[in-house]
Structure 1
Amino acid sequence: MVIVFFDSTENFISSKSAGNTKINLLAQEFLSLKDKVYIIEFTNEACVSKEINGIKYIPYLYSRSLKKRIGNYLSTYRQLTKHSKEDVIIITSSIRITNIGFFIMAKFCSNIKLCYLFHEWHWAVNNSFINRFIGLCFDSLLGFLCNAILPISTFLFDKSIKFRKPIYKVPIVAKFPFFNIGIDVHKQYFIYCGHSNYRRVIDIVLLAFSKIDRNNVELILVLYGNQDNICKLNNLIHKNKIRRVRILQGLPDKELHSLYSGAIALLAPLDEKNIQDKARFSQKIAEYLSSGRPIITVNVGDISHYFTHLKNAYIADSFSPDSFAELMNLALNDPILSGEIGYNGYLLGRNNFSVESVVKGLRTFLSSI
């Protein structure tokens, strides 16, 4: 089988965004099952095709020229049709209007199947009217063009039923070694990991942390994304004299995992009033769970489908500093309970979000469409 992740990543080589992390985990697992894997990405900077850990990475310089875009699509089509004796599965989360032509072209090749990786409710992501309209069109119509739908959450699964196509839920994924190294009582800290653009979420985390009872506890923000936003946030923290907060960037996976496994708890705030948070399922939650440390989150979206408060997660009733601070203090003051919740969360993650089991089921599904 040939697996092609088409326009489903952004800055794949340099960025460790949640989306890139998930695609890389899926791609590596398909490779381990002896499938051929391509990642085809549109970039703003010219770079060459290369092989990355067995993945054939093909970048195309994004162009406003229709002629150039058609050339890219024809080049991609020719590469994929070389595998005429194998099933070619195109997995895309793209909402570029210019890609519709390529998707239609692919429909004319009998061995190519198009699957929509449905991981966001796009009309709720953008503020501009035109982008919201484009998002709405893709959310509502692209499924009819595909051979199968791969939603990330129950919310998006329900939205996919109208397409009357085969559906397979592809949730958050992680590798599940047990790398819990335990708590160092002299280095107590909470961790939030996310994109620097999520200022609304980061502000809630900072306000909640300011309500923590003890002075020897630290908050670590592991951020990626726009460097200007990170600098502004750093300046704000210093200007307002918010103590015991560190911002880290670009950590190697091993170091990040070590930080996870030494944390008091890992923070995953969700807003119950935000339709986007109801629709998507944060990839970071799977990574958090694999550390064996407890997560603190909010009862939004798929959280209630998997987690139980005080059994395998700390679950706040609302997206507010007070609700989060209450659970952060609980995790801090009862380390035995925290350890039990973290371990139960690890078991839940291993049973539901292990990339090995998810890809094994997904591969069986793809073989049947």
Structure 2
Amino acid sequence: MSIIIFGDLFTFPDGNAATNRVYTYARGFAENAETTHVICFRNDFGVLSSGDNDGISFYHPFSQKSRSNYLLVRRWQKFEKFIQTYRILKSISKIEKIEAINIWTNLHTTLLFGWFLSRIFRARLIFECSEHPLNTFHNHTINRRIGLLKFKIESGLCDGVLCISKYLMDFYSTNGVADHKLLLVPSTVEPARFARKPESPLNYKYIGYFGSLSFERDNVDNLLKAFALIKDKHPEIRLVLGGFCNQTEKAQIDELISLLGISEKTAVIQYLSRKEIVQYIVHAEILVMVRSNNIESNASYPSKLTEYIAAGVPVISVNTGEISNYLKDGVDILLVEPENHEALASKIEFVIDNYADALEIAVKGQQLTKTVFNYSFQAKRMIDFINHL
């Protein structure tokens, strides 16, 4: 039996939060005796057509080295991607039965194609939902109705849905999706990745944040303002931000860093590989998770937070969404009011001044990566869910 992870919301083998979740799914399925294949359905140029990474077979059916100058050629290449994906699944099905297709997409064309593949290969179609389905349909009433119609059509095509939060479970249930088709799968992590202690990438103590570097969604400006309040009192500590940001976001970050007078003590690293991220996380003195307090935060769960607690390093997180459903302030994490840089600065100072106590809290948080946040534990639940559909 095999499970296909298929979609256009992730890159592979390196990538964003979705890529990390895909990794944990694939590793977990493999440890529970399910062969897993990852098919990245994006139109990315210059990537390997197929390969193996950490024992995970992956494919890029688009597989073009560069963008053609001719419109008809580009259209054909995109169409050929569908044919190549079918061939990949057909080849896999000759070796072992495809049990399920776990689909990651916001595009109706990709979902329809995934549904078509699931019917052809008699597999269950399992939709991954890590963000609010109406996230881009909140502008006005008509737009919301269009979003709901799209949601109902797409959810009707799926045999099951994996939701990252209870908020999303309730949304699906309220909008007519049967409870037996829903499974809550919180953020997952492979703790062994963060148990290793490679050489530190930096020769100074630092507070670390590693994730998307935006102001609107991730509220990184909150952390910059908090650090500015404590930098003089604790001159031995620096701030390191690592992750993706576009040119506009980078300009915003640089401008605020300059305005706050923290340029000499702040490093911004725009790209980190999976291996490099681990190095920076495990060697941080303190890890901070910030994000905005909005509907997107309420519906999702930050994957970087489970990676943070897996490192056994003191973690400070804003208390948004369902974080406090799993983690308790002063017990296994340190929580702070969102969008309040003064409160965040006070919490950072508390950790610095009471570091031994903060480490004890971190160790308790780390234990959760062996149970509720554990990739293999959740993979077994997903396999049982799929088998009972």
Q: Compute the TM-score of the two structures, normalised by the length of structure 2.
A: 0.82
1:18 and 2:20 are equivalent in the alignment: no
- 1:197 aligns with 214
- The equivalent of 2:122 in structure 1 is 111
Q: Does the 8 Å contact 1:221/1:246 carry over to 2?
A: yes
Checking the alignment, whether the CA contact within 8 Å between 1:27 and 1:55 is kept in structure 2 is: no
2-structure distance, mates of 1:321, 1:29: 38
- Which position in structure 1 is the counterpart of 2:227? 209
Q: What amino acid is aligned across from residue 31 of structure 1 in structure 2?
A: A
User: 1:103, 1:114 within 8 Å by CA — same for their partners in 2?
Assistant: yes
Counterpart selection for 1:248 from 258, 269, 282: 269
CA distance in 2, matches of 1:166, 1:4: 18
Question: Which ranges of structure 2 fall in alignment gaps of 5 or more residues?
Answer: none
Segments of structure 1 that go 5 or more residues without pairing to the other structure are: none
- Summarize the alignment of residues 128-147 of structure 1 with structure 2, pairs less than 5 Å apart: 136-147=148-159
* 1:58 counterpart letter in structure 2: H
The aligned counterpart of 2:109 is 98
- State the alpha-carbon separation in 1 of the partners of residues 273 and 110 from structure 2: 34
Give 3-state SS (helix, strand or coil) of 1:210's partner. Answer: helix
SS, match of residue 15 in structure 2: coil
Matched, 1:172 2:187: yes
- Map of 1:271 onto structure 2: 292
AA paired with 2:57? I
> Partners in 1 of 2:177 and 2:302 — Cα distance?
25
SS of residue paired to 1:168: strand
Query: Structure 1 residue 51 and structure 2 residue 42: aligned?
Result: no
Q: Distance in 2 between matches of 1:24 and 1:354?
A: 12
Aligned pair in 2 of structure 1 residues 5, 351: CA closer, same or farther (>3 Å)?
same
CA distance 1:46–1:131, change in 2 (3 Å): farther
Instruction: Give the 3-state SS of the residue equivalent to 2:312 in structure 1.
Output: coil
Are the structure 2 counterparts of residues 118 and 21 from structure 1 closer, same or farther at C-alpha, using a change threshold of 3 Å? same
- Pairing 1:163–2:172 present: no
TM-align CA RMSD: 3.2
Using the alignment, how far apart are the partners of 1:137 and 1:46 within structure 2?
37
1:326 is displaced (CA, Å) by: 1.5
Question: Tell me, what secondary structure is at the counterpart of 1:108?
Answer: helix
Relative distance call for 1:237 and 1:279 in structure 2 (3 A) is same
State the Cα distance separating 1:169 from its structure 2 match.
Answer: 1.8
CA contact 1:172–1:281 (8 Å) conserved in 2: yes
What's the counterpart of residue 100 of structure 2? 89
Deviation at 1:89, TM superposition (A): 1.2
Change (3 A) 1:302 1:141: farther
Inter-partner Cα distance in structure 1 for 2:287 and 2:149: 36
Q: Which one of 346, 356, 374 corresponds to residue 354 of structure 1? A: 374
What is the CA-CA distance between 1:282 and the residue it aligns to? 0.6
Q: Equivalents in 2 of 1:236, 1:301: separation in Å?
A: 27
Equivalent residue in structure 2 for 1:76, among 77, 85, 96:
85
Give the drift of 1:199: 5.2
The one-letter code matched in structure 2 to 1:171 is: P
- SS of the counterpart of 2:182? coil
The corresponding residue for 1:333 is: 353
SS in 1 for 2:262: coil
Amino acid at match of 2:222: I
**Cα distance in 2, alignment partners of residues 198 and 122 from structure 1:** 22
Q: Distance in 1 between matches of 2:278 and 2:112?
A: 41
Tell me what 1:237 maps to.
257
Q: Does 1:368 align with 2:377?
A: no
1:2 maps onto 2:13 in alignment: no
In structure 2, the CA distance between the partners of 1:195 and 1:131, relative to structure 1 (3 Å rule), is farther
Distance 1:241 1:322, change over 3 A: closer
- Which shifted more, 302-311 or 83-92? 83-92
Partner of 1:226: 246
Task: Provide closer, same or farther for how the CA distance between residues 132 and 44 of structure 1 changes in structure 2, counting only shifts above 3 A.
Answer: farther
The sequence identity of aligned pairs, in percent, is 22
